[in-house]
Chain A
Amino acid sequence: MPEPKQQENYLLETRDLKVHFPVYGGVFRRKTGKVYAVDGVSLKVSAGKTLGLVGESGCGKTTVGRAVLRLYELSGGEVIFEGKNISGMPESEIRPLRRNMQMVFQDPFESLDARQTVGDILEEPLIIHEIGSRSTRRKDVENLLLRVGMPESAITRFPHEFSGGQRQRIGIARAIALKPRLIVCDEPVSALDVSIQSQILNLLLDLQSEMNLTYLFIAHDLSVVKHISDHIAVMYLGKIVEYTDADSVYKNPFHPYTQALISAIPVPDPSVRKQKMVLHGDVPSPLSPPPGCRFHTRCPFAFGRCRSEEPDLLRAPGTECEDHLVACHLVNSEK
């Protein structure tokens, strides 16, 4: 990745982030292989901005989000948060940092403890980080609920008494309870109805401008990401294939995979006949990713070099955009 022109204030940076999960097999449960869930991802997120991370299911985007928060052990690379390298830190040192980095989960049915009241759920972060006293905490929880558009009366109720959208609001309230700087949003709207999605997205946008939040927004739906992101990174099989600002992705996608994703966005106009680019085949197993460009097995433009040589993430030629990076031999050899 080329150095940026001006020294920007990055809140979060990953350098060649790798997360591999061991696979055990055989009689003695020995390590027989690895899942290359994330295999060398470098990202930069500026403070107060949103980076959208898109990709198919199983491409490792959720793993990136969790690895950034050190919920998964890293197999390699670095995570730099607020200028500090947190990749090797012991959990005891990370714990206080968790105040500044939070997460909103995909499934609002799973991510809230069904045995706790909403009040308990929202109070928990305050208890863990020893903020306030019992009475002030209660006041804080009420404010949080109001802030995310929930009635105060929710405090004594249980998560299963609410709808998906309301639960996701509770999940968001929990994430902002500690007034963090970074929130990793792991597909926060993909489990919701379309009508609710925009409400939640707008809530996230409101909170961002109000609290100066930085989002790492993970989604598989480009139209959702478009709405909220400043920059977008497209992931395929554990690697970033294209990184650019939100507009250029739509106007000027370079990578064949990005092009395919964009052509898959439905257009709400039946008279438009789009030339759809349909990808064939499945995502290869991350247990044994293909050599060369990982996309070559499904790429309609693949040629000899793609099968042997792994493309680097390089500045795309011929764009007006400052940092439009693509990892594709086809694009990069046009220079």
Chain B
Amino acid sequence: MRLNPLTIKKIKRFRSIRRGYYSFIILTLMILASLFAEALVNNRALVVRHGERYYCPVYGRMNPGKVFGLDYDYETNYRQLQKRFKEEGRGNWVLMPPVPYNAYENDLREDRFPPFPPSFAEKHYLGTDNVGRDILARLIYGFRIAIGFSLLLLLFDFGIGISIGSAMGYFGGKFDLFFQRIIEIWSNVPFLYVIIIISSVVVPGFITLIIIMAFFGWIGMTWTIRTVTYKEKSREYVLAAKALGASDSRIVFRHIIPNTISVIVTYAPFAVSGGIVAITSLDYLGFGLAPPTPSWGELLQQAWTHMDSWWIGASVIGAMTITLIAVTFIGEAVREAFDPKMYTTYE
């Protein structure tokens, strides 16, 4: 496939905006890292050598303790196994991930109460929360959920918004009028109350929450796409396609939507940051994903109630700040790179 030279120019321009480009790299790395979070943050070992055999418990099956010569049937505690192998010194070894804790696991001590402050010796690099769960683990898994949530939400919002918006703009007339009124009514439904009502009846799951959010989130994109469709529709190349006998769907999908793509792309990063903020605040208020799902909102809530445990608040606020700034920088750079004023020639 040959990229449009204009697109190449836009990508080059995006890359030349250093701030946005580096943010893009950082965010991509963060997303990639979170996709492989199991290998980075886990209480299962990466590799275990026992006897002559190698095990890879991270992506493998659950190994009961008996496999490694322990006296229990439940899942092996690899951190203990690591110590034990070391003490035995028989050539067996365990390689743990950098953060050897699960996001759900309570690492409790006998003589102290959580939250525990950051400690490199215990490998709680950012400390633990009030029930002894590793904060870094929860941050990373929480990030994965938040970014996955907002990307999926973006897909839903844009999917609905683009289809309704372009139909409104293209067909205009009564159809447009009808949906305008629908949207006006729709946007007056108080979103938060609906969420509260729904989550008082059922505990919303990941997909349910996305559907509820998309239920209210499609409006912005619809308005935008409606407007740009109106603009594109009145341009001569659409008339030319019509004169060739192109069907409505062909005109919309082959001509109008590709020509609105820069608008869509420009909106995407801001929609992502919006999605992250939305899920975090819902979790903070307790209307989001059910505990014990790792979530930034829940950590924020803890930070609020445990003000003296500064590391909770510091890490979650730091993580949010970095992510949102990165996304915003990307959005800014995309907007700048796709600015139509730079490429339109007025003759």
Which residues of A approach B to under 8 Å, CB–CB? 66, 69, 71, 94-96, 98-99, 102-103, 105-107, 109-117, 124-125, 128-129, 156, 158, 160-161, 164, 171, 174, 178, 191
Contact = CB atoms under 8 A, between A and B. Distances in A.
B244 interface: yes
Contacts of A103: 240, 243
Nearest to A186: B236
A174 B240 contact: yes
Contacts of B2: 117, 156
Interface in B1-52: 2, 4-6
Contacts of A66: 239
B187 interface: no
Interface residues of B, number: 24
B4 A128 contact: no
A178 B250 CA distance: 18
Given A71-B242, A124-B241, A110 B236 contact: yes
Interface string B209-247: 000000000000000000000000001110111111111
A98 B243 contact: yes
B239 A109 contact: no
Given A106-B236, A113-B258, A114-B259, 7 more contacts: A66-B239, A95-B247, A115-B259, A115-B261, A124-B241, A128-B246, A128-B250
Nearest to B260: A115
A178 B236 CA distance: 19
B255 interface: yes
Nearest to A191: B347
Given A109-B345, A114-B259, A125-B244, A158 B5 contact: yes
A95 B241 contact: no
B235 A99 contact: no
A94 B246 CA distance: 11
B244 A105 contact: no
A111 B6 CA distance: 18
Contacts of B244: 98, 102, 124-125, 128, 174, 178
Contacts, number: 77
A127 to B, nearest CB: 9
B241 A113 contact: yes
Given A124-B246, A125-B244, A129-B245, A113 B259 contact: yes
B259 A71 contact: no
Contacts of B345: 109, 160
Contacts of B254: 116, 124
A111 B236 contact: yes
Contacts of B236: 105-107, 110-111
Contacts of B4: 114-115, 158
Contacts of A109: 345, 347
A230 to B, nearest CB: 24
Contacts of B259: 113-115
Contacts of A113: 237, 240-241, 255, 258-259
Nearest 6 A/B pairs, CB to CB: A98-B245, A110-B236, A111-B236, A115-B258, A113-B237, A95-B245
A105 B246 contact: no
Nearest to B240: A111
B237 A99 contact: no
Residue with the highest number of chain B CB atoms closer than 10 Å, among A99, A113, A116: A113
A158 B6 contact: yes
29 contacts: A66-B239, A71-B242, A95-B247, A98-B243, A99-B245, A102-B243, A105-B236, A105-B239, A105-B240, A106-B236, A111-B236, A112-B237, A113-B240, A113-B255, A114-B4, A114-B237, A115-B4, A115-B258, A115-B259, A115-B261, A116-B254, A129-B245, A158-B5, A158-B6, A160-B5, A160-B6, A174-B240, A174-B244, A191-B347
A66 B234 CA distance: 14
Contacts of A106: 236
